[in-house]
């Protein structure tokens, strides 16, 4: 049997395979160079960038939980201009798609960043972080259909990049949000960002994180992410990128079968930085075992009870 076709199409975004790295867990890629061949990836999503520099939240910023990681980084970064000056050239030299991840305090900031990045034609797409749970205002766009649509539409009007909206699970019903992202012109949605949580030092009667609340990621959130992928896949006609607790090829297959067309590796990169580089080969092997000619043959094939 010939090698399966691993390429995927997410709206206007074409990827050579569905394995992506999640923003905030892969740095700006250079840090990961000793651990994997970037050409094996479908794409890299570097750390979230904001228009102006951010110092982030007060420490402590991370703590391990029983089955994951709680973080309250607060989008610490040097700002858009430093990203362009110090990181874009290197990122675009890599043999994989580069999808920039941006966050703004208001619609105009998203618009400005999209316009500025438009000058760098090698960028494959933009992922809009409208769902970070540990920064002031950042999550608000993703909890309201009107503001979600407004942000996505503003970015679409300002640039030619394929646009991905990264949505929050910290909401009662995500379907109207995903629908709003589609109406605004999103090519795909990333599901999900982290779940809001906290950790407590009961002996000292204090929260452990300096910002009190943080975002939970890792294996603990995979069932929630799968549930949300399923709900959106059955209700909204838009490509989905599955994110949340993916650490093995079985996890990848669970998300694909449930309705995701691509996936992102996040927390697992911290303890196994080469993982994302091995998954595309494992995916090819498992598709051959399933007698599939392409990855698309397994997407959204979940058989529900009558």
| Whole-number percent of the chain with pLDDT over 90 | 94
Task: Tell me how far apart the alpha carbons of residues 194 and 81 are, in angstroms, rounded to a whole number.
Answer: 27
Check residue 306 and give its pLDDT.
86
Q: Which residues of 204-222 are buried (b: 16+ CB within 10 A; e: fewer)?
A: eeebbbebeebbbbbbbbb
Distance (Å, whole) CA 99 – CA 226: 23
Q: What is the mean pLDDT of residues 69-73?
A: 96
Give the three-class secondary structure for 48.
coil
Comparing C-alpha atoms, which of 228, 245, 187 is closest to residue 67? 245
Query: Within 10 Å of residue 186's Cβ, how many Cβ atoms?
Result: 29
Q: Tell me the pLDDT of the chain averaged across its residues.
A: 95
Q: What is the model's pLDDT at position 48?
A: 96
Q: How confident is the model at residue 131 (pLDDT cuts 50, 70, 90)?
A: confident
Phi, psi at 143, each rounded to 5°: -105, 0
Residues 6+ apart with CB under 8 A from 304: none
Residue in 132, 180, 233, 240 annotated catalytic: 132
pLDDT of residue 46: 98
- The count of other CB atoms within 10 Å of the CB of residue 141 is 29
Residue 103 CB burial class (10 angstroms; 0-12, 13-18, ≥19): buried
DSSP 294: B
Determine the pLDDT at residue 135.
Answer: 72
229 has a pLDDT exceeding 80: yes
- pLDDT of 137 reads 54
CB 164 within 8 A of CB 125: yes
Is residue 183 within 8 A of residue 236, CB to CB? The reply is no
User: Are 138 and 75 spatial neighbours (Cβ–Cβ below 8 Å)?
Assistant: yes
Helices 107-117 and 145-158: angle between axes, nearest 10 degrees = 30
Per-residue confidence (pLDDT) for residue 91, from 0 to 100: 97
Q: Assign domain 8-57+76-200+216-297 to its CATH architecture.
A: Alpha-Beta Barrel (3.20)
CA distances from residue 168 to 36, 138, 195 in whole angstroms, order as listed: 30, 10, 8
Burial class (CB in 10 A: 0-12, 13-18, 19+), 271: exposed
| pLDDT tens for each residue of 165-206 | 999 999 999 999 999 999 999 999 999 999 999 999 999 999
76-100, pLDDT tens digit by residue? Answer: 999 999 999 999 999 999 999 999 9
For the ranges 8-12, 65-69, 117-121, 213-217, the lowest mean pLDDT is seen at 117-121
Q: Taking 80 as the threshold, does the pLDDT of residue 136 lie above it?
A: no
Q: Is 132 a catalytic residue?
A: yes
Q: How far is CA 213 from CA 72, 74, 115, 133, in A?
A: 7, 11, 33, 8
CA angle 162, 17, 287 (to 5 degrees): 140
Look at residue 138 and tell me whether its pLDDT is greater than 60: no
pLDDT at 133: 75
Q: Which of 115-119, 132-136, 263-267 has the lowest mean pLDDT?
A: 132-136
Q: What is the pLDDT of residue 139?
A: 56
What is the structure's pLDDT at 121? 82
């Amino acid at each position: 049997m010939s090698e399966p076709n691993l390429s995927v199409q997410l709206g206007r975004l074409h990827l050579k395979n569905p394995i992506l790295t999640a923003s905030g867990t892969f740095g700006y890629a250079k840090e990961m160079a000793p651990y994997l061949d970037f050409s094996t990836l479908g794409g890299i999503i570097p750390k979230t960038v904001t228009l102006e520099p951010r110092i982030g939240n007060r420490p402590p910023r991370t703590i391990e939980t029983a089955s994951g990681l709680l973080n309250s980084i607060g989008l610490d970064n040097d700002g858009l201009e430093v990203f362009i000056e110090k990181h874009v050239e290197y990122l675009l030299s890599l043999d994989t798609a580069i999808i920039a991840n941006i966050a703004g305090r208001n619609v105009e900031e998203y618009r400005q960043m999209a316009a500025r990045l438009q000058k760098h034609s090698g960028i494959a797409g933009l992922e809009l972080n409208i769902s970070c749970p540990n920064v002031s205002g950042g999550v608000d766009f993703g909890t309201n259909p009107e503001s979600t649509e407004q942000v996505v539409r503003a970015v679409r009007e300002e640039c030619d990049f394929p646009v991905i909206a990264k949505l929050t699970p910290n909401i009662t019903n995500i379907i109207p949000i995903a629908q709003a992202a589609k109406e605004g012109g999103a090519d795909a949605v990333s599901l999900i960002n982290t779940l809001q949580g906290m950790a407590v030092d009961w002996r000292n009667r204090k929260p452990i994180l300096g910002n009190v609340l943080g975002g939970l990621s890792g294996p603990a959130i995979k069932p929630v992410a799968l549930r949300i992928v399923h709900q959106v896949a059955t209700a909204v006609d838009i490509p989905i990128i599955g994110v949340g607790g993916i650490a093995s090829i079985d996890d990848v297959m669970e998300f694909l079968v449930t309705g995701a067309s691509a996936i992102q590796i996040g927390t697992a990169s911290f303890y196994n930085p080469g993982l994302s580089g091995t998954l595309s080969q494992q995916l090819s092997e498992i598709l051959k075992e399933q007698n599939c000619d392409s990855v698309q043959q397994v997407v959204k094939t979940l058989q529900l009870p009558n």
